[in-house]
């Protein structure tokens, strides 16, 4: 090949590479730091890590990072194989680094407490699972079907009994950054609640609720703790192996759960709830037969963001439960060492006391 031909070939390669880089930057989904509460940096741990023009091994490597180099994470992408790719700035360009080639460090901004009340309840975004391949151990159904049904029940309760405005994510919308978190932010939602049922990692039958929160939001932590408490209180089997309410940002080598990380980055109160285990027959049957009870427990947990004792209409907020119970001549009784809330008299009481008139 002649020298001029070599030059022409190199020019053509650089030309098409530039076009591909521009196209990838336009179409690849990445995190938009709207509020900027979550900042992530990655330190390269591999001896040499390729920097590609897109998120995937099929994309051309146009650079290389060496061990110890640090980059600010501009965004991320999950390819078809489930591999996470991090968008980093290098040499004035946005390139992609495989997450397994680095270690992530988080800087989490504190989300201000939002002053909710029964007259000003939060706007809530419900994100039911999109995992139809997670089969239940009973009932010939799956996680996606059941969580969408639970989301519909919960949305109706929050609207009618607590006066909340509720948005339910459509099935077609992905849980990736450019999907449901962006949709919730565009609709100006205050709370982002992801609904899932669980499966044990060790194959043993587990039970109990789990909830993952953003550690720099007191209301996110409070909501997660309320969800675990309410769900475990109504469960027909005691918790066994469930981790309870935990920090979502320590998982996946500090990358965090996306449905907590991305909504929190936009300033929302985000929690991912695993309501019960579906991979054993007892847990699956419980999920199928107690869906209404689970929805009621979740609604009470959400309402605890503004008032632990109110059914949501503001009428009884200034009246203590002891005074009110005496006023209507209802017995005060306990379950698991806790007083039943006043609102349970108006819904459906779960108290174990034989004296309860609403049992």
Domains and CATH numbers, the chain: 3-108 (2.30.30.40), 123-303 (3.40.630.40), 319-359 (no CATH)
Q: Which residues of 234-244 are buried (b: 16+ CB within 10 A; e: fewer)?
A: bbeeebeebee
Closest-CA residue to 160 (of 324, 351, 346): 346
Q: In whole angstroms, what separates CA 84 from the centre of its chain?
A: 18
Secondary structure (3-state) at 62: strand
Tokens describing residue 59: 């994309």
Low-confidence ranges of the chain (pLDDT < 70): 1-35, 308-359
> Where would I find the beta strands (DSSP E) of the chain?
38-44, 48-52, 61-66, 70-78, 84-90, 93-98, 102-108, 123-128, 165-168, 191-198, 210-213, 244-247, 269-277, 334-335, 338-339
Residue from 107, 125, 87, 115 nearest 263 by CA: 125
The predicted structure's pLDDT at residue 16? 60
Percent helix, strand, coil in the chain (nearest 5)?
Answer: 35, 25, 40
Res 83: pLDDT: 86
Supply φ then ψ for residue 66, to 5 degrees: -110, 160
The C-alpha atoms of residue 216 and residue 219 are separated, in whole angstroms, by: 9
Output the CA angle 237-244-195, nearest 5 degrees: 85
What residues have CB less than 8 Å from 288, skipping those under 6 apart? 136, 138, 139, 141, 146
Angle (nearest 5°) at CA 189 between 166 and 174:
85
């Amino acid at each position: 090949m002649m020298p001029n031909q070599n030059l022409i070939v190199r020019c053509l390669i650089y030309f098409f590479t530039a076009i591909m880089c521009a196209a990838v930057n336009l179409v690849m989904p990445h995190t938009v730091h709207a509020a900027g509460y979550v900042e992530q940096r990655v330190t390269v741990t591999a001896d040499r890590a390729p920097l590609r023009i897109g998120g995937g091994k099929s994309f051309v490597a146009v650079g290389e990072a060496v061990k110890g180099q640090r980059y600010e994470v501009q965004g991320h992408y999950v390819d078809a194989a489930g591999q996470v790719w991090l968008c980093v700035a290098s040499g004035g360009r946005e390139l992609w680094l495989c997450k397994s080639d680095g270690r992530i460090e988080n800087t989490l901004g504190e989300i201000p407490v939002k002053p909710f009340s029964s007259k000003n309840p939060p706007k809530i975004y419900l994100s039911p699972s999109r995992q139809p391949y997670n089969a239940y151990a009973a009932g010939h159904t799956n996680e996606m079907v059941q969580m969408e049904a639970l989301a519909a029940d919960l949305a109706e309760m929050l609207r009618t009994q607590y006066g909340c405005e509720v948005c339910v994510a459509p099935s077609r919308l992905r849980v990736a950054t450019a999907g449901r978190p962006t949709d919730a932010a565009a609709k100006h939602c205050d709370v982002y609640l992801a609904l899932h049922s669980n499966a044990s990692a060790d194959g043993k039958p587990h039970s109990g609720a789990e909830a993952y929160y953003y550690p720099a939001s007191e209301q996110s932590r409070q909501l997660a703790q309320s969800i675990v408490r309410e769900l475990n209180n109504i469960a027909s089997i005691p918790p066994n192996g469930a981790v309870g309410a935990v920090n979502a940002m320590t998982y996946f080598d500090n990358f965090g759960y996306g449905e907590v990380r991305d909504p929190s980055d936009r300033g929302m109160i985000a929690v991912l709830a695993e309501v019960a285990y579906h991979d054993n027959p007892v847990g699956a049957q419980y999920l199928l037969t107690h869906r209404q009870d689970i929805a009621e427990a979740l609604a009470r947990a959400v309402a605890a963001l503004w008032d632990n004792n109110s059914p949501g209409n503001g009428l009884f907020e200034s009246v203590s439960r002891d005074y009110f119970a005496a006023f209507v001549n209802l017995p005060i009784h306990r379950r698991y060492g806790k007083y039943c809330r006043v609102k349970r008299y108006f819904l459906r009481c779960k108290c174990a006391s034989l004296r309860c008139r609403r049992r």
